[in-house]
Amino acid sequence: MHGSQEVPSGYTYGRTPRSPVSLEELRQLETAASFADLDRDALAKAGRILAPQAEALVDAWRARIAAQPHLVKWFLGPDGKPDEDYKAKVKARFVRWVKDLCERPFDQDWLDYQHEIGLRHTPAKKNLTDQAHTPPLVPLRFLLVFTAEIILVPRRYLLAAAPDEADRLHAAWTKAVLLTIALWSEPYAREGLW
Amino acid sequence: MHGSQEVPSGYTYGRTPRSPVSLEELRQLETAASFADLDRDALAKAGRILAPQAEALVDAWRARIAAQPHLVKWFLGPDGKPDEDYKAKVKARFVRWVKDLCERPFDQDWLDYQHEIGLRHTPAKKNLTDQAHTPPLVPLRFLLVFTAEIILVPRRYLLAAAPDEADRLHAAWTKAVLLTIALWSEPYAREGLW
């Protein structure tokens, strides 16, 4: 399914260390997010609409980031300018994340890779994958508030392509995004508080 | 504006310690969530619809929690049964939170109280306000995934009361919820990672 697509640099899906979160815990999180079988179907349908727009979505999010010094600073190199090589590599993986979120089963590989993405936002692994020299962190507070943009920006595409089902598809998208963000937050949390 | 309402037990709005987050940082978070002046107006309008339904909303969320052992366990007393006194007090404040989120300005008092709410989900202050003996934590992962329910459940009321504006009002609600959740997450984060 993904074999015909170009593999982004640093995209190690299926080849990452094991997440500390168990599949049983993941199922609890799905239930707590009210992500049910119907949402799985809705998410797949949302993916058929959003996957062709994934680069446009990331461009829209990137434009919002670029306009805010407190967001863009986490992409700057030691010279104070945006690290374009790092940005391009992260972007390609970000585009793939949109597709993966809609298309991949939430299985062990998926779980492991969400943890890897989380680590890559923290000092544990930011910059490591791309051998970059940007600040070693995307702060948790910005990850969480920017989730509003991640949730809301795709709505226009769902409305345009499937107006009668947009709410159902968008609800599934909202739940899936919060599920993945919750998994990304694990490396940020104090011992025992996650 | 709130003077005529009964004050919930433990509701210390305007009388809490100072948040470690500055108003300048709060403004950055608002911008990162794309929360603009138009959203402030939309949130006020959403509040006029949601405030009368605030208890029904909390009842709906509570029913979801009650159905999931991994969520209800954080409300159990030492005897393994739900601590009804604690639940009732937290519920009254939860209802008020819905109203406050829509109606209060995002000023220093609001900022300080969001931090207080965050602390009351962690070992720093959970149980303290109500002298309860439930587990000392609501884990961050459940706080974040349950945000899907907090975002999505009110939509039906917005659609029923203002179908032509529901998207605009719901977007403002979504942004405001993520803003407050981000502020609640501060006590959970490792030093320097928030």
Q: How far apart are CA A63 and CA A146, in angstroms?
A: 13
pLDDT of residue B6: 84
CB A39 within 8 A of CB A128: no
pLDDT at residue number B158: 98
**Residue A6 pLDDT:** 84
Residues in chain B where the model's pLDDT stays below 50: 1-4
The pLDDT tens digits of the residues spanning B134-183 come to 999 999 999 999 999 999 999 999 999 999 999 999 999 999 999 999 99
CB contact under 8 A, A140 and B174: no
Q: Give the pLDDT score at B3.
A: 45
**pLDDT reading at A55 higher than 70:** yes
Domain range B40-188, CATH class: mainly alpha
Q: What is the mean pLDDT of residues A129-152?
A: 97
Inter-chain residue contact A145 with B178, CB threshold 8 Å:
yes
Q: Which residue has the higher pLDDT, B74 or A4?
A: B74
- A102 with A43: CB under 8 angstroms? yes
Q: Which of residues 71-110 of B touch A (CB under 8 A)?
A: 71
Rounded Cα gap, residues A45 and A26, in angstroms? 22
Chain B neighbors of A122, CB-CB under 8 A: 193
CA distance B51 to chain A (A): 22
What integer pLDDT is reported at residue B1 of this predicted model?
Answer: 45
B178/A188 Cβ within 8 A: no
DSSP 8-state code for residue A104 = S
CB atoms within 10 A of CB A188: 26
Phi first, then psi: give them for residue A57, nearest 5 degrees: -60, -50
pLDDT value of residue A3: 45
pLDDT of A1 reads 46
Query: How far, in Å, CA of B133 to CA of A12, rounded?
Result: 45
Cα–Cα dist B64/A59, whole Å: 36
- Hey, which residues does A189 pair with through a beta bridge? B189
Write the DSSP string, A119-142: HTTSTTTTTTTTT--S-S---HHH
Question: Which structure tokens are listed for B146?
Answer: 């349950």
Percent of chain A with pLDDT over 90: 97
CA distance A98 to chain B (A): 18
Query: CA quadruple B173, B185, B96, B59: dihedral positive or negative?
Result: positive
The residue whose two tokens read 């975002």 is B151
The CATH architecture one would assign to domain A30-188 is: Orthogonal Bundle (1.10)
State the nearest Cα–Cα gap between B185 and chain A, in angstroms: 8
pLDDT of residue B41: 97
H/E element, A72: helix A69-72
B85 to chain A nearest CA, in Å? 24
Cβ of residue B60 closer than 8 Å to a chain A Cβ: no
Does the distance separating the beta carbons of A185 and B144 come in below 8 Å?
yes
Task: Write out the two tokens for A143.
Answer: 């990850």
| Chain A contact set for B140 (CB, 8 A) | 182, 185, 189, 193-194
Rounded mean pLDDT of A17-28?
98
* Portion 2-31 of A in contact with B at CB < 8 A: 25, 28-31
Give the one of A71, A152, A174 whose C-beta lies nearest to B32's C-beta.
A71
Please judge whether A149 and B29 are an interchain contact, meaning their C-beta atoms are less than 8 angstroms apart: no
pLDDT confidence tier of residue A38, bands split at 50, 70 and 90 = very high
- In one-letter notation, the amino acid at residue B110 is W
B16 by DSSP, 3-state: which? Answer: coil
Q: Could you please report the per-residue DSSP string of B144-169? A: HHHHHHHHHTTHHHHHHH-TTTHHHH
Query: Chain B residue with minimal CA distance to A172?
Result: B148
Longest CA–CA span in chain A (Å) reads: 49
The nearest alpha carbon in chain B to A64 belongs to B32
Nearest CB to A68: which of B32, B144, B152?
A: B32
Q: Which residues contact B58 (CB under 8 A, 6 or more apart)?
A: B91, B94, B95, B98
CB of A114 within 8 Å of a chain B CB? The answer is no
The Cα of B1 is separated from the nearest Cα of chain A by a number of Å equal to: 28
- What is the structure's pLDDT at B5? 65
- H-type alpha helices, chain B: 23-32, 37-50, 54-66, 69-72, 84-103, 108-119, 140-152, 155-161, 166-184
Q: Which residues contact A176 (CB under 8 A, 6 or more apart)?
A: A35, A39, A43, A101, A102
Distance CA B153, CA B62 (A): 12
pLDDT at A5: 66
Q: Which residue of A has its CA nearest to B168?
A: A152
**Boundaries of every domain in chain B:** 40-188
pLDDT tens digits, A87-130: 999 999 999 999 999 999 999 999 999 999 999 999 999 999 99
CA distance between the termini of chain A: 34
- Torsion, Cα A93 A96 A98 A100, to 10 degrees, reads -120
* φ, ψ at B76 (rounded to 5°): -90, 140
pLDDT (mean) for A138-147: 98
ipTM topping 0.95: yes
